[in-house]
Amino acid sequence: MLLNTPQITVTGFLSEPASSVTVNGLAAPVAGTDFSLSGVPLVEGSNTINVEATDLAGNKSTATVTVNLDTAAPMITITSPVDGLLLNTPQITVAGSLSDPATSVTVNGLVAQVVGIDFSLSGVPLVEGPNTITVEAKDLAGNKSTSTVTVNLDTAAPTVAITQPQNGLFLNTPQITVAGSLSEPASSVAVNGVAAQIWGADFSLSGVPLFEGSNAINVEATDLAGNKSTATVTVNLDTAVPIVTITSPQNGLLLNTHEITVTGFVSEPASVTINGVAAQVIGKNFNLAGVNLTEGQNTIAVTAIDPAGNTGTGNVNITLDATPPAVTLAAPHRPFS
């Protein structure tokens, strides 16, 4: 027998009246053929209870039982989940072991399965935020003990904000730096599948390669609980220089007006300046009226800069001749008087 009280009552009965009964040497009261003695002390561990009876004729006999005093509560080790765990599943399995066999184990009041000194319970429900997992064990002697761990349920995915580059950006560099921030700390951040550096809730990755044309930059973040979220921006790599075609005036033109209109087109959308003055651009066509000329040769320099920052130029040379020709009469001669 296992028990956890340091004193017990020993009772029994005899086949005939007795003159005396002792329990471990202590006299027990006798009523007819029944005897009882309370307050019999026990020591931790195995205890032999020895009852000796003497009948009225002086004959003696003994009976013995063994009981075990166990006042030590069972030690509980929770092996899963670990204390402080962050997770994103609303139900978990709680498992662990005991220092000695138990009659029952409960997890947050729910009965767990016990095999030997091991216990487990699946489907333990969690609520969003911190959760206390309390395991209570009762050993064969009736001693109870508890152990707790705290886990945190987080089912909210982190918010990813890409601050660099901006969505729709045109650029002419084949590698860029991608940076941004998260709504919470993360265990990992990947940019197009490549691990980024993380500082708190900020992330950055340099040397992200681009190819000519449209490029999707995909950032995937995984928080400490395992929730994932993504954010995407699109950038455009353009390393081609815009080609400038001047349709008017033609190269080498000789004219006598001090102001002209310059027109032409560019191979792609761009901002255009003519001799440093911004031209009107509609689609890919440009024009600028009132371009001033000086007497003699004039260079018309057109500069086009596309959204990626590539610069293309075009030039024509024209000549302004606004001086009338001088007329000298060689004949007839004035007559002599």
pLDDT digits (tens, 9 = 90+) for 133-159: 999 999 999 999 999 999 999 999 999
Beta bridge partners of 320: 255, 296
Q: Is the pLDDT of residue 109 over 60?
A: yes
Q: Which pLDDT belongs to residue 332?
A: 73
Q: Which pLDDT belongs to residue 328?
A: 85
**How much is the average pLDDT of 104-109?**
98
337 — pLDDT class (breaks 50, 70, 90): low
**How much is the average pLDDT of 202-231?**
97
Sheet holding 129-139, edge to edge: 86-87, 144-153, 129-139, 102-107, 110-111
Task: Give me the CATH topology for the region 160-237.
Answer: Immunoglobulin-like (2.60.40)
The torsion of the CA quartet 23, 27, 32, 33, rounded to 10 degrees, works out to: 20
CATH of domain 2-69: 2.60.40.10
Q: Which pLDDT belongs to residue 335?
A: 62
Task: Give me the CATH topology for the region 76-153.
Answer: Immunoglobulin-like (2.60.40)
pLDDT digits (tens, 9 = 90+) for 249-271: 999 999 999 999 999 999 999 99
* Whole-prediction pTM: 0.69
Beta-carbon contacts of residue 68 (< 8 Å; ≥ 6 apart): 1, 2, 3, 45, 46, 47, 141
Class of domain 244-320: mainly beta
Q: Which residues of the chain does CATH 2.60.40.10 include?
A: 2-69, 76-153, 160-237, 244-320
